Amino acid sequence: MFIHCELLIAILVLTLDGPVHAGEIINGHEAVPHSRPYMVLLYMYKEHGKLTHCGGFLLNEDFVMTAAHCQAKSYEVSLGVHDVHNSNGNQRISVAQTFPHKDFNAIDFSNDIMLLKLSSKAKFTKNVKPITLADKDDVSLPKSCLVSGWGRTETQNICSRLMEVDVTLIDDKQCAENNCYCSLGGIGPGNGDSGGPLVCDDEKAYGVVSTMMKPDSARSFYTFIQIPYYRSWINSTMTNALKSSDVTIN
């Protein structure tokens, strides 16, 4: 993302098969069960049957949002999850179509945002509900935010229960120029938490968990794709996808 920066930058991808073992939500705590009903556990089926996961979040009965670098041959979303070992009340739905941003760059991870159209509609319950997105007019830097996910632990490929942690965003010119929010490393998402939402004090999703940046050996930054910047793309992509699916051939 900081492709114009002269510093040598390492981009650490927060998916399970990324180059860094970053642990679960770092310095976080277990979420109150089902207090984040928009959270999605995204199962990613790759070559040779390899299974990994990312986070995501429910936008409406048809669409989930995640990070564009969460690439796979096929997907399945799990809704209503808190403890991955307890499937009671969970909804498992396959993904019919994927819509990564057309300008996603797998080298610098710019435009790291993707929409997933579900093969069948999600059923809203007390444990499954969509989240409101920050609007394109929400341009001021949010003050109090939170990230959550099932990122892996030191002993497990997936944290068994949903974890969360508060993060403080920094006012950084380079982050803003690259349509990102950033927070300092040490407290934030871990490996396997990509694609989850950055939820701020008005309970709207402002960002998508993307990567960890290391501009030098002494510092690290977590980056979150700015949802307000992409609202037009989000709205048009969902509208066009639904129109296309409504077309029938006689």
In a domain, 2, yes or no: no
The one catalytic residue in 69, 101, 148, 193 is 69
pLDDT in tens, 146-173: 999 998 654 456 678 999 999 999 998 9
Please say if the pLDDT value at position 126 is more than 50. yes
pLDDT at site 11: 67
pLDDT at 62 over 90: yes
Question: Is 198 among the domain residues?
Answer: yes
**What whole-number percentage of the chain has pLDDT above 70?**
83
**Is the pLDDT higher at 89 or at 3?**
89
Task: Quickly state the pLDDT bin for 58 (edges 50, 70, 90).
Answer: very high
Instruction: Please count the other Cβ atoms lying within 10 Å of the Cβ belonging to residue 39.
Output: 28
Q: How many domains does the chain have?
A: 1
Mean pLDDT score across all residues of the chain: 86
Domain that holds residue 149: 10-246
Residue 67, in any domain of the structure: yes
Between residues 130 and 24, the one the model is more confident about: 130
Cβ 83 vs Cβ 160: under 8 Å: yes
pLDDT of residue 19: 36
pLDDT of residue 235: 97
Statement: residue 247 has pLDDT above 60: no
pTM confidence score: 0.87
DSSP calls for the chain: --TT-SS--EEEE-STTSS----SSBT-EEPPTTS-TTEEEEEEE-GGG-EEEEEEEE-SSSEEEE-TT---SEEEEEES-SBTT--TT-EEEEEEEEEE-TT--TTT-TT--EEEEESSPPPPBTTB---PBPPTT--SPPSSEEEEE----SS-SS-SB-EEEEE-B---HHHHHTTEEEEETTSB--TT-TT-EEEETTS-EEEEEEEEEEEETTEEEEEEEETGGGHHHHHHHHHHHHHHHH----
Residue 72 lies in a domain: yes
Catalytic residue among 53, 62, 82, 112: 112
| Residue among 140, 196, 145, 134 nearest 168 (CA) | 145
In a domain, 3, yes or no: no
Known active-site residue 74: no
Nearest to 38 by CA among 21, 20, 55, 24: 55
pLDDT for residue 4 is more than 50: no
Residues in a beta bridge with 52: 44
**Which CATH number covers residue 101?**
2.40.10.10
Which of 136-145, 172-181, 231-240 is predicted most confidently?
231-240
In a domain, 61, yes or no: yes
More confident residue, 159 or 205: 205
Establish if 4 belongs to a structural domain: no
Is the pLDDT reported for residue 13 higher than 90?
A: no
Range 128-152 average pLDDT: 92
> How far apart are the C-alpha atoms of 220 and 217, rounded to whole Å?
8
Candidate list 78, 148, 183, 194, residue with the active-site label: 194
What are 198's strand-pairing partners? Answer: 147, 207
Tell me, yes or no, if 83 is annotated catalytic.
no
Domain annotation covers residue 5: no
Phi, psi of 233 (to 5 degrees): -65, -45
pLDDT digits (tens, 9 = 90+) for 228-242: 999 999 999 999 999
Both tokens assigned to 189: 């998402």
